[in-house]
Structures are given as structure tokens and as C-alpha cells.
Structure 1
């Protein structure tokens, strides 16, 4: 039962980290584009899905770091002298983040990511060194209580550092996505869209075009081209025009229903006769 409880807690923590990363990266991305993430009304599952791809590299690095730590631990425990030396040095692990302070001005965004990542192993190493007792000595009740307090405080600080690191990395990922979106708006990464509507939707500017539908008996009176698909959430379709830029441009929100039809055009040829 204790194992199941531990696994459940780890899964809950992982889900919380994934959701927070999805929200933080989306928030950074939309802010860089001059928008807000609340506009898109994303669900919890969408935030989780947006976090998965960007976390592959951190997950691989984490596994590599754990394997390296296991190998180092085995190398240290093979010699009593190495163990004593390592424990003495680990007491000062909490100083590692402070040692990085002079390098803040070199790259502030990277600094805010590296500091919490360095703080986590430093705090854990310090807690281990402070609570380690020789095998031949049994800690009394007061020592156990003190050790428990040290580990509790260290784990809280590590958890805060973890969310700090996730927030910093999410900001880097989100701003990178925004830059990519600004470059790729007129490429295949943004599918071309044609909108038909029974009423005038007032879609104008940024390279978009509109025309009256001349066919008799048509259910639609207006046709809009020169549009790109920005995002889809439920029945809401978020569109930008082909000349859209984050610093100057309009995001249109169209709801698909009986009076509005949205067509998606793939390939470069679908873009040529747009306007």
C-alpha cells in the first residue's frame, strides 16, 4: 500500500508539472504574439498535450543525470576515504546556485533555468550529508526529528526549484514557438483557409480578401481567402491573414455552424489564386 501511495504521489506530481509547463509555455507564446492564452480557452488535456513534445529532451537529460549519479555513488562507496571526502564536500552543495550569480548578465533567461536545476541536486546533497550518520551509530529520537526537519525543508525547496525551472524552460519554449509562428505564417506550417458565410464577417486587412458569391441558390453570400489557420479549439477556428505579424495584425475567431463553412487547403497551389 505504501508503494502504491508513493507511485500515486509521483504520478500526481508529474501531471501537475506537465499541466503547469503546458500553461506556462502557452502563456509565454501568446504573450510574445501580443495575445493571451485565455483567448483560446484550452482544456486541461490540451495543456497536457502541448507539454509532452517539449519535455522529451529534459526527460532524456534527467535519465542520463540519474544514471551518472548512480555510477558516481557506486564509485564513492567502494572506498571509505572517498565516502568521507564526498560527504564533507556535499555539505556545501547549497552554495552551488550562489556561485552562478556573477554570470547572470551573460544570459538572464538561461541563468534562471540553470540556477534551480543546480539548486535541486545541491540541496539534496546537503540534506544527505547533514543527516548521514556512521553505520555503527544509531541516531536518537532528537536526531531523527532534526533529520526529518532537514529533509522536509530540503524537499520543499527542491519542489519550488522544480517549478521555477519548469517555468523558465516553458518561457524559453513558448517564446521560441512564437518566433517560429511569426516566420512560418505564410508557409505550409499554417494551412490555407477559405471561409464561406451567409453574412458579412467583416474580415478585412493583413492580406485577406473577400468577394460576394454570385451563384444562384448558394447558401453563402461571402467568400474570404488569404487566411491561415492559427488554432482550432472546439467549434472555434482562429484565423490570421497571410501578411499577419505579431506586432501588427488581427486574430479572427470564427465559429463553424450552418451559416459559416470553413475549408482547409493543403499544398502551395491552393495559395496561388487566393486573391
Structure 2
């Protein structure tokens, strides 16, 4: 095995060691999924005039909520990672073979400067004008940090050759700081995207409430539902009397409670009806 291959393998081993010390990628991905699910559910509930704690979601619920919406971002990130690995290996090989070394060093320096400027400008805009900041600004900042770091590493490799520019401890500290910044930016971007998605889903209920399962609720006692869109009909008489409620649409069953919307529901003036999942009521669902 050549010295170059041994050095490259040693560098990857040190990088993996630092990542393992901070937290395995699976742990970080799970934390992102949970946070994404919670942020989406919280924004969706707030848009509907509710508190997310009413739904009684658990960790598994938040993970399931987040998976469908994160398929596309995760595929894009993985595809970009594969392209980056291929490009990184190609550039490193050309540097080691002394082909286009000067051009790569110069281009890496320019790329690092522009990436740093992108991160700085995006951060200033996000702090000074948060309402006008693009939804994916934190992701652009994370990309800028990674590209700037990569360009700096290529520039060091092109200028120093086989001589290590940093000690093992310095590389570990640098890698730790970069990964910490990128992780925080990913959480930031995840929160923004999840909240926007949650608000959009809540607004979509206004157009799609008529497609939700229709429910008829039967109760031995009047429930006193305060929505004008829900009609109360007394069925039977005497001891056999029942109260039937029409005009309800099932939203979700969670935390031992049924959550219903009503026909014509809107986030602005609609009512969310919450009933316990027990023997006090009987519910029939229809198409």
C-alpha cells in the first residue's frame, strides 16, 4: 500500500473518529426526523388554533409524521454527497499527479472566499430581515460552510503537498467545529421548512375537508357541540333516547381522543371538536 493511500485512509479514520465522538450519523438523522415531525405538528396545530400537546403524540408519531415529507430532501442530500465524493477524489488525484495543481489551488481560494461571503450575507439577512429571508437560507448557509471548508482543504493539499498542514488535534477541533455549525444550521432549516409545511397542511384542510371520512356521533346525553355546522338530532324517546350529531369529519385519532372537523371548516372561523375514545359515545363512519 502506498504512503498516499495510507495517509488518505488515516485521514478518513480520524474523521470517522471525530464524528463518532460527536454522535453517529444515525443518531443525528433520528434527532432531525423527530424535530422535523414536532415542528411540523406544532405549526399545523397552531394554524388550526390548537396546541400540539392536545394530540398526545409520542416519539414514534413524530418520526412517522416527518418521514414522508423528508424523502425528497434526503434523496437530494445523498445524491449531492455522491457527486461531491466523486469530484473530491478526481481533484485530489489531479493535485497528487501535479496536473492543474495551480489552477485548482487558485480556484479553491476563490471558491472559499465566495462561499464565506454567501454565509455571511445570508446570516446578516436572516438576522436583520427574518420575514424576507428565503425558506432555504439555513440550508444554503450549511452548504456554504461545507464548500468553504472543502475548498480550504483542497488549497492546503495543493500548496503543502504531502506535508501535513495541521496536526491531528487541530484537525479534530476543526472538524468538530464545522460539524457543529452544520448540524445547527440543519436544525434551523428543518424548523423553518417543517413549520411552513405544517401551516400549508392546515390550510389544505380547508379545501379537503369534504374528502375526509364522514362521521355520525351517537350519545346518551347531549354533548353541547357549539358549532353551527353540526346538527343535533334526537333519536327515539324516553329511556331509549339517543342524540345524533351530523356534519362531522374525522381529522385524526390520537392520544385516546377523536378530533373532528365540520363541514365548511376553515382555520379562521372553524371549530375542532374533541371527543374521548370510550364508551360514552358511539361513532359511525361513512363515505
1:117 matches 2:143: no
1:73 matches 2:77: no
Superposed CA deviations along residues 48-103 of structure 1, whole A, max 9, x for unmatched, are 11101100111121123223323432443334234313431343222213345798
1:1-275 equivalent positions in 2, closer than 5 A:
6=20, 9-77=24-92, 78=94, 79=99, 80-92=101-113, 93-100=115-122, 111-130=133-152, 132-133=156-157, 134-139=160-165, 143-185=167-209, 187-188=210-211, 190-214=212-236, 218=240, 221-266=242-287
Question: Structure 2: how far apart are the matches of 1:126 and 1:147?
Answer: 15
Structure 1's unaligned 5+ residue stretches are 267-275
Structure 2's unaligned 5+ residue stretches are 1-15
Superposed CA deviations along residues 194-246 of structure 1, whole A, max 9, x for unmatched, are 0011111112323111111116774x621111111121114310112213221
Contact 1:127 / 1:150 at 8 angstroms: preserved in 2?
no
Contact 1:112 / 1:165 at 8 angstroms: preserved in 2?
no
Task: Kindly state the Cα deviation for residue 109 of structure 1 after the two structures are TM-superposed.
Answer: 6.5
Cα 1:14–1:101 shift into 2, 3 Å: closer
Cα 1:147–1:228 shift into 2, 3 Å: same
How many residues are matched? 257
Task: Kindly state the Cα deviation for residue 108 of structure 1 after the two structures are TM-superposed.
Answer: 5.9
Using structure 1 for the length normalisation, give the TM-score: 0.82
Question: Structure 2: how far apart are the matches of 1:94 and 1:177?
Answer: 35
- Compute the RMSD of aligned alpha carbons: 2.9
Question: Structure 2: how far apart are the matches of 1:38 and 1:176?
Answer: 20
Contact 1:91 / 1:126 at 8 angstroms: preserved in 2?
yes
Cα 1:156–1:68 shift into 2, 3 Å: same
Question: Structure 2: how far apart are the matches of 1:59 and 1:117?
Answer: 12
Structure with the bigger RCO (C-alpha within 8 Å, sep 6+) is 2
Cα 1:13–1:46 shift into 2, 3 Å: same
Question: Structure 1: how far apart are the matches of 2:20 and 2:65?
Answer: 26
Using structure 2 for the length normalisation, give the TM-score: 0.79
Question: Structure 1: how far apart are the matches of 2:282 and 2:132?
Answer: 45
